[in-house]
Amino acid sequence: MADWSIWQALEEWRNKRHELDPVFAYAGVAPELDSQANRIALDLRRSPPTRPLLSGDKAKDEEEVGRYNEAYFRHYDEPLDKVEQLLRRPWVPEAGPIADLVRQELKRIRDLMREQPGTHPQFDDLDGLIQHYLHLDHPAVMIDPDVLAARRRMLIDVAGYPLQVQHALKDPYNDSVPPLASSQFRDVLHGKMAEYLEHKWLHSRVITHWYISLALDGALARKKRDATDDTRIASMMKRRWPALSIITPGFDQADQVWYLVLTLIAICCLFFEFWWIAGGLIFWLYLSVGGHQRERKEIEARRAQLAARATSMKNTRDRFAQNQMTLERLSFQLRQLDEKGEYFDDTVFALLSLHQSEA
């Protein structure tokens, strides 16, 4: 997919999930409004009902003319209602003054049709105002194009970030995104989440779902890493047998060197008949063997616990990805899976509570 782009992916998602329409509309992207405006223009150009022939019976003719006037009004009132529906659709908020001008023109046309029933109104001004509203180019209402450009960039940078990560993960040679288990990725993700929370116009259940799924993927990757990293598991233990590796965590063979030195010292003490020192060192070495064996058992138990939690987290992630779990239910589930807050911070839970008022 050499021609892949974030914007293209966002457009494809917008075509599939219309919940994203308000987000795109805020950035000035809503081609469906143009289609709706074209249909309205066609409706306004339809031929009106034919005036009835007069029969000479005054009462009957007045009744027929009255029905004709009502039908004539309805004929044009329906597309005018569609114009009002168009104005209620999500769009660039700065276009509000133009929408007010359109509403004023609608009122003028309706008043004219009531005052002069059966008179064909002119819709050129209305059509022009609708085009100004959609193209944001009314001469009396200046809208800075840089504002819309900035929103589209934010749409790509913030809303499109989860799609960028998903695309990068599919390509093993794509290094544009840090590994999911890295702290660098977590920092970038939380930064994007904070931006997403800050800009309310971006809020959408679809985008929130993307970010939560990404947070789950990152947490699962870190959980799997922790379950296979003995050094990391050992560092989480509260009580450890004193050893040189604790002081020098970057030196992998620290314990081997340390115990080799102690063994050599003990042998030398035996050779020079320093019995008490040699006995103490040998006893310490004996206790160290037991201490490290106990640590190994605790590490294995901790590893099994982490693996079980990773499995639970994966099951939760899969259920959420298949829309079998709501955001509200997921929030409760994650607090159980991450009691110490190692994998999910307040930003994630803020996203989970973002749409609770909509439920």
Please give the chain's pLDDT, 359 residues, in tens: 335 689 999 999 999 999 999 999 999 999 999 999 999 999 888 877 666 566 666 666 666 666 777 778 788 888 899 999 999 999 999 999 999 999 999 999 988 888 887 777 888 999 999 999 999 999 988 888 899 999 999 999 999 999 999 988 888 777 888 898 888 999 999 999 999 999 999 999 999 999 999 999 998 888 888 777 666 666 666 666 566 555 556 555 666 666 677 777 778 877 777 778 777 777 777 677 666 667 777 767 777 777 788 888 888 888 888 888 888 788 888 888 776 777 888 889 999 888 875 54
The pLDDT value recorded for residue 268 is 84
The pLDDT value recorded for residue 31 is 92
The pLDDT value recorded for residue 338 is 78
- Angle at the Cα of 183 from the Cα atoms of 181 and 187, rounded to 5 degrees: 120
The pLDDT value recorded for residue 1 is 37
- Angle at the Cα of 311 from the Cα atoms of 308 and 313, rounded to 5 degrees: 110
Q: Which residues of 72-90 are buried (b: 16+ CB within 10 A; e: fewer)?
A: bbebbeebbebbeebbeee
The pLDDT value recorded for residue 273 is 74
Which pTM does this prediction carry?
0.79
- Please give the torsion angle defined by the CA atoms of residues 347, 351, 352 and 358, in that order, rounded to the nearest 10 degrees: 150
Question: How many angstroms separate the CA atoms of 287 and 338, rounded?
Answer: 35
Six-digit token string for 347 = 């930003």
The pLDDT value recorded for residue 228 is 75
Domain ranges of the chain: 6-135, 230-358
**Under a CB-based contact definition with an 8 Å cutoff, are residues 25 and 201 in contact?**
no
Q: Name the residue with tokens 């031929």.
A: 47
The percentage of residues in the chain with a pLDDT greater than 90, rounded to a whole number, is 35
**Under a CB-based contact definition with an 8 Å cutoff, are residues 126 and 43 in contact?**
no
* Best CA proximity match to 179, nearest among 190, 195, 168, 194: 168
The pLDDT value recorded for residue 142 is 84
Q: Name the residue with tokens 């409004």.
A: 33
The pLDDT value recorded for residue 130 is 95
